[in-house]
Chains A and B, each alone.
Chain A
Amino acid sequence: MRVCVDMTKCTGLGICESLAPDYFEVGDDGELRVLQVEVAEADRADVEESVTSCPTEAIWIET
C-alpha cells in the first residue's frame, strides 16, 4: 500500500497532516511533503481518512 499525492491538485490545506502526521507535513512554503510512502497496516484507517477528507481530492492509496 502506497500513498500518492497529485501535487497539481494539492493546495497545502493540511487536513491530511492533522489526521496522519507521520505521513504528511505541510512546509512553510505551503507545499505538502509526503514523509512516508509505504502505508503500514496499522495506519491504514488514518491515511484513508486523509484521502476522504482532502478538500481537493489530491490523495489516494495504491495497493
Chain B
Amino acid sequence: MTRLVVVGASLAGLRAVEAARKAGHDGPVTLIGDEPHVPYDRPPLSKAYLDVAGPGGDEPTPTTFREKAHLVDELGVDLVLGSPATGLDTAAREVAVGEERVPYDALVIATGARARTLPVGSGLAGVHALRTLDDALAVRRELDRAASVVVVGAGFIGSEVASGARKRGHDVTVVEALETPLVRACGEAPGRWIAGLHDKHGARLLCGSGVAALHGSSSNGSGRVEAVELTDGTVLPADLVVAGIGATPNTEWLEGSGVEIENGVVCDETLASSVPGVYAAGDVASWVNPVFGRRQRLEHWTSAAEQGAVAVRNALDPSTATPYRTVPYFWSDWYDVRIQFVGSPQADEVLLVDGDPEAGERWIALYRAGDRLVGALTVNGQTEVMKYRGQILKGGSWDDALAFAEQRKVARTVPA
C-alpha cells in the first residue's frame, strides 16, 4: 500500500492530501507541518485580518481551512504538526522530523517560503515580518496601539500592511530600497503607477533608501523600537516596524538529500523533482511552466492550490503524470483598490489600454512579448482581468487583445 507523505501544512499541502483522497488513494497519508496550527489561509492575514476589532473586541475571523477533526476523521490524515521536517533520506525513503522517521513511497514537498527579516534590529520589540498566523496576530496587536508605522518594502505585503495601518488612522511611511517598487512583479511604469496609490491615501513613500539601523528605547539593542534610520541619514520615528522584503524558499532541510535545489526544488513540467517519487508544490517549487516554456517559482495562492493537487496525483501515479500549466494570477488589496495581475511581466512592451493612473483609480495595462499577449494588469478592473487570462492561456495575439480592449472600452463608455 502506497504511503503518502506531504511535508508542509499550508495551502499546497492541504490541497495535496485532499486531492489524494479524491483520486481514490486509500493508503496512509501523513501531513507534516512546522507550525502548531492546522492549515490556514494566508491572503486575509495582511488584509481584513489587520482591521480594527469589531464591537466587543471581536477576534478576527479565523482563516483555518478545515477543522482538525475533519482532517483526521474524514480524510484519515495523520497530522505531525509543530515541528519541522529536518531531513530527507531518499535512499531509505524516510523524512526525518527530529528523531522521528516517517517512511514514504510517494512524497510531496510543500514547505513553502519564509519571510526575510531585516538584518538589523532583531532584538527589538515592535519589529515584525508578516507571513504566518502568529505574525499576523502580533502585527494586529501592535496596530491596536501604534501611532507611527514604518513599513520596509513597498511590495504587495508591505503595501497591504501600509493600507491597513492608514485605515486605522496611523502615520505611515513606506521605505523601498529600489527606485521603483514592484519592478519585478509588474514592470517599471506600472510599478510607479501602482505605488502612487500610497501618496493618494496619505502614506509617505520613500524610494531608493535602505534601512541602516533601528533605534530602540535602550542603548544596548534591546527594548522597543523607536526610530528607523535610513541609509541617507533620514531618521523616521516608529513604534511599529513591519518588514515586507520578500521570502526565501524553505529548502535547507533537503541539503544532502540528492534533491536538486536552485531557488526552490527544481522540478520538471509535472512537478517531479530530480529524485523519483519526490514531487514539489507551492512556493517552494521551481518548475517549467509550459504556457511560457520557462522555469518559474511562484508565490501565489492559485498556483499553490493547483500545484498541490497536480503534484500529489502525479506522485501517486507517475505513469499518467500530467504537466502543470497555468497563467499565473495574483491579487492585492490596497486601500479600497483591487490590483490584479495575470500572466507574465517579462514583456517587450507595456501599454495602458484604459484609464489614467495619474487621474483615476481604474486602469488597465497589457503586456506584449513578440506578437503575443503575455500579461494584463488591472486596477479596479475586476470585470476585465479574467477575460485576458483566458486569452493568454490560449496564446492569444497582441492585435486581438488590443482590439478586444478597445471594444470593451467603447462598450463601457458609450451607452447602448
Can you name 29 A-B pairs with beta carbons within 8 Å? A12-B382, A13-B331, A13-B340, A14-B340, A14-B382, A14-B386, A15-B329, A15-B386, A17-B387, A18-B329, A18-B389, A18-B390, A18-B393, A21-B386, A21-B390, A25-B383, A27-B382, A27-B383, A28-B382, A28-B412, A29-B382, A30-B380, A52-B309, A53-B302, A53-B306, A55-B41, A55-B43, A55-B301, A55-B305
Interface size class of B (residues with CB under 8 A): 20 to 34
Interface size class of A (residues with CB under 8 A): 10 to 19
Question: CA of A25 to CA of B41 in the docked complex: distance in angstroms?
Answer: 24
Listed from nearest, the 10 A-B pairs whose CB atoms lie closest are A17-B386, A18-B386, A14-B386, A18-B389, A26-B382, A30-B382, A28-B383, A27-B383, A26-B383, A12-B382
Check: B385 CB closer than 8 A to any chain A CB.
yes
Given contacts A14-B382, A28-B383, 8 further A-B contacts (CB under 8 A): A12-B382, A15-B329, A18-B393, A26-B383, A26-B386, A28-B382, A30-B338, A53-B302
Q: How far is the CB of B81 from chain A (nearest CB, A)?
A: 22
Q: How far is the CB of B165 from chain A (nearest CB, A)?
A: 21
Contacting residues, chain A, for B342 (C-beta < 8 A): 18
Which residue in chain B gives the minimum CB-CB distance to A31?
B382
Mask, B95-119, CB within 8 Å of A = 1, is 0000000000000000000000000
Contacting residues, chain A, for B327 (C-beta < 8 A): 18
A55 pairs with B302, CB closer than 8 A: yes
Contacting residues, chain B, for A13 (C-beta < 8 A): 331, 340
Q: How far is the CB of A33 from chain B (nearest CB, A)?
A: 9
Contacting residues, chain A, for B305 (C-beta < 8 A): 52-53, 55
Kindly identify, within residues 1 to 56 of chain A, every residue whose CB is under 8 Å from any CB belonging to chain B.
Answer: 12-15, 17-18, 21, 25-30, 52-53, 55
Which residue in chain B gives the minimum CB-CB distance to A30?
B382
Contacting residues, chain B, for A26 (C-beta < 8 A): 382-383, 386
Contacting residues, chain B, for A55 (C-beta < 8 A): 41, 43, 301-302, 305
Q: How far is the CB of A1 from chain B (nearest CB, A)?
A: 18
Which residue in chain B gives the minimum CB-CB distance to A21?
B390
Q: How far is the CB of A9 from chain B (nearest CB, A)?
A: 11
Contacting residues, chain A, for B340 (C-beta < 8 A): 13-14
Question: CA of A15 to CA of B342 in the docked complex: distance in angstroms?
Answer: 11
Question: CA of A14 to CA of B339 in the docked complex: distance in angstroms?
Answer: 12
Q: How far is the CB of B311 from chain A (nearest CB, A)?
A: 15
